[in-house]
């Protein structure tokens, strides 16, 4: 069941895309194929699989039937051509860039990113000879100014973690395409229910499936979705995809697989050589979570709007960064890109700075103080002392994670209970 062959609605595809009753047993839920390898019919069958002449299963580092259902489902929901599941959101970022980059190449990235992503891009990727240039995404023109002949991708979070920042995707996509490079969009915080970046020019979409797609805080994972529309053969910019691959006897991915080239490369080269494989159990749990994605996101957004409005009027709060508020400078962008609501992760500033922020996260009882988002439960964290502590004070501020900042991921509880818990915790910061 693929979007190109069916006109089913989002909620229907959330439940059915990529899945069918098990042909052997009739099991309706997707089985957990907890196996490392798969029996070949004969030597010729094995050879054709290893030569990428036949689609099938060889070894679960490369492909797995449970993970394949998840890949097809997320690709359908995003409106993409294909997808590659992997072990985490960070692994998805690595796999997304792996087919595009060579030593000495560059990416242009929004500076409004999850702190771990900034560290991965600015420090770890340097060990591969990849360099990142960070720009303020509030002015899309900054992306164009930073693009050089060495640039191989533009990267942004459409709804940025932690501050609820919304990037104007459409003009950034045009700048990337004018330069002949793909736009890579992290859609984790929005989910495809609230925003489908491919419709605005995104070429490669990534998710930490650990968050809203899974939805229950019980399964790690990531996924890379290819739109199937970007031409990787232009100007010789992407030799991994457009030139003969020695590991497969000179096969050229774009020539052999067409609009599936990027996705096939993600499995045949990315997962094969880097090895960040998604566990079948985690794929199963994420598939189950996606079945209720639309219902959950509606409730997440409703609760977040109520909590943000409550905090905006609280005497212990100096500001609230949530695009659902009319006071937000991203309010108009939210209406454009996220008409169903700007997610449920946002930040607010506590009067009293760092010490007050720490006091709030240590005083809540209903909310859980932990380093995750997108759970059914409401979550809270002080980024400057946790997720963004690796960054300099200037980087923290630029990323929306200054000393007074508290990040919330609003869950599915009764909104009044969430507000009551926050009210009590904020009260303890007032002397």
- Could you tell me the CATH number of the domain that includes residue 54? 3.40.640.10
Q: Do 331 and 190 lie in a common domain?
A: no
Render each residue's pLDDT in the chain as its tens digit; 431 residues: 444 445 899 999 999 999 999 988 999 999 999 999 999 999 999 999 999 999 999 999 999 999 999 999 999 999 999 999 999 999 999 999 999 999 999 999 999 998 889 999 999 999 999 999 999 999 999 999 999 999 999 999 999 987 779 999 999 999 999 999 999 999 999 999 999 999 999 999 999 999 999 999 999 999 999 999 999 998 899 999 999 999 999 999 999 999 999 999 999 999 999 999 999 999 999 999 999 999 999 999 999 999 999 999 999 999 999 999 999 999 999 999 999 999 999 999 999 999 999 999 999 999 999 999 999 999 999 988 887 777 788 877 777 778 899 999 999 999 999 999 999 999 998 76
Residue 315 in tokens: 């005497």
Residues 123 and 115: their CA atoms lie apart, in Å, by 12
Q: Do 311 and 386 lie in a common domain?
A: yes
Answer whether residue 359 is part of any domain. yes
pLDDT at site 7: 81
Answer whether residue 264 is part of any domain. yes
The contacts of residue 270 (CB under 8 Å, 6+ apart) are 84, 86, 94, 95, 98, 99
CA distance to 88, 206, 307, 321, 354, per residue, from 166 (Å) = 23, 16, 19, 11, 25
CA distance to 34, 59, 137, per residue, from 379 (Å) = 32, 37, 26
Answer whether residue 378 is part of any domain. yes
3-state SS class at 224: strand
Domains: count for the chain: 2
Domain boundary among 289, 309, 338: 289
pLDDT at site 2: 44
Answer whether residue 422 is part of any domain. yes
Cα atoms found within 13 Å of the Cα of residue 383, Cβ hemisphere only: 33
Q: Do 198 and 344 lie in a common domain?
A: no
Q: Do 352 and 219 lie in a common domain?
A: no
Answer whether residue 134 is part of any domain. no
Cα atoms found within 13 Å of the Cα of residue 109, Cβ hemisphere only: 25
Domain that holds residue 339: 294-427
pLDDT at site 5: 46
Q: Do 302 and 210 lie in a common domain?
A: no
CA angle 284, 289, 291 (to 5 degrees): 105
The answer to pTM > 0.85 is yes
Residue matched to tokens 């591969």: 128
Residue 33 in tokens: 């194929």
Q: Do 237 and 367 lie in a common domain?
A: no
Four-residue CA torsion sign, 354, 357, 362, 367: negative
Answer whether residue 369 is part of any domain. yes
> What is the separation of C-alpha 204 from the centre of its chain, rounded to a whole number of angstroms?
10
Residue 263 in tokens: 């996705």
Answer whether residue 274 is part of any domain. yes
| Inter-residue long-range contacts of 309-314, CB under 8 Å, 24+ positions, other chains counted | 310/419, 310/422, 310/423, 311/348, 311/422, 314/422, 314/423, 314/426
Strand residues in 179-295 grouped as ranges (E):
183-186, 204-208, 222-226
Phi, psi values for residue 77, rounded to 5°: -65, -35
Domain boundary among 267, 289, 311: 289
Query: Beta strand pairing status for 183-186 and 204-208?
Result: parallel
Q: Do 205 and 251 lie in a common domain?
A: yes
3-state SS class at 222: strand
Residues 12 and 250: their CA atoms lie apart, in Å, by 41
Domain boundary among 237, 271, 289: 289
């Amino acid at each position: 069941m693929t979007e190109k062959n069916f006109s089913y609605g989002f909620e229907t595809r959330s439940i059915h895309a990529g899945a069918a009753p098990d042909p052997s047993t009739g099991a309706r839920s997707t089985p957990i194929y907890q196996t490392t390898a798969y029996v070949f019919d004969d030597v010729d069958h094995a050879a054709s699989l290893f030569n990428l002449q036949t689609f099938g299963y060889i070894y679960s580092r490369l492909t797995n039937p449970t993970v394949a259902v998840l890949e097809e489902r997320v690709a359908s929901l995003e409106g993409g051509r294909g997808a590659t599941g992997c072990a985490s959101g960070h692994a998805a970022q690595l796999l997304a860039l792996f087919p595009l980059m060579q030593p000495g190449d560059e990416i242009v990235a929004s500076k409004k990113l999850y702190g771990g992503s900034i560290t991965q891009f600015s420090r770890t990727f340097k060990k591969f000879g990849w360099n990142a240039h960070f720009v303020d995404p509030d002015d899309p023109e900054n992306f164009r100014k930073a693009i050089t002949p060495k640039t191989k991708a533009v990267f942004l979070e459409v709804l940025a973690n932690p501050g609820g920042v919304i990037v104007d995707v459409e003009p950034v996509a045009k700048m990337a395409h004018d330069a002949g490079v793909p736009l890579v969009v992290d859609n984790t915080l929005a989910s495809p229910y609230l925003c489908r970046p491919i419709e605005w020019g995104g070429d490669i979409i990534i998710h930490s499936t650990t968050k809203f797609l899974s939805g229950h805080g019980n399964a790690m994972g990531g996924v890379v979705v290819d739109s199937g529309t970007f031409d990787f053969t232009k100007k010789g910019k992407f030799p991994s995809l457009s030139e003969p691959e020695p590991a497969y006897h000179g096969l050229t991915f774009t020539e052999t697989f067409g609009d599936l080239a990027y996705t096939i490369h993600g499995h045949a080269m990315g997962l094969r050589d880097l090895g960040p494989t998604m566990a079948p159990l985690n794929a199963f749990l994420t598939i189950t979570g996606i079945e209720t994605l639309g219902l959950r996101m509606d409730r997440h957004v409703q609760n977040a709007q109520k909590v943000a409005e409550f905090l905006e009027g609280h005497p212990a709060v100096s500001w609230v960064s949530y695009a659902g508020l009319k006071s937000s400078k991203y309010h108009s962008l939210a209406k454009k890109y996220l008409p169903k609501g700007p997610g449920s992760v946002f930040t607010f500033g506590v009067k009293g700075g760092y010490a007050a922020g720490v006091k709030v996260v240590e005083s809540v009882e209903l909310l859980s103080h932990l380093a995750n988002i997108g759970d059914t439960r409401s979550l809270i964290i002080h980024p400057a002392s946790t997720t963004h502590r690796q960054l300099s004070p200037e980087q923290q501020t630029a990323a929306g994670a200054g000393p007074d900042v508290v990040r919330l991921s609003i869950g599915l509880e009764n909104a009044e209970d969430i507000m009551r818990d926050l009210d009590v915790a904020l009260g303890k910061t007032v002397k």
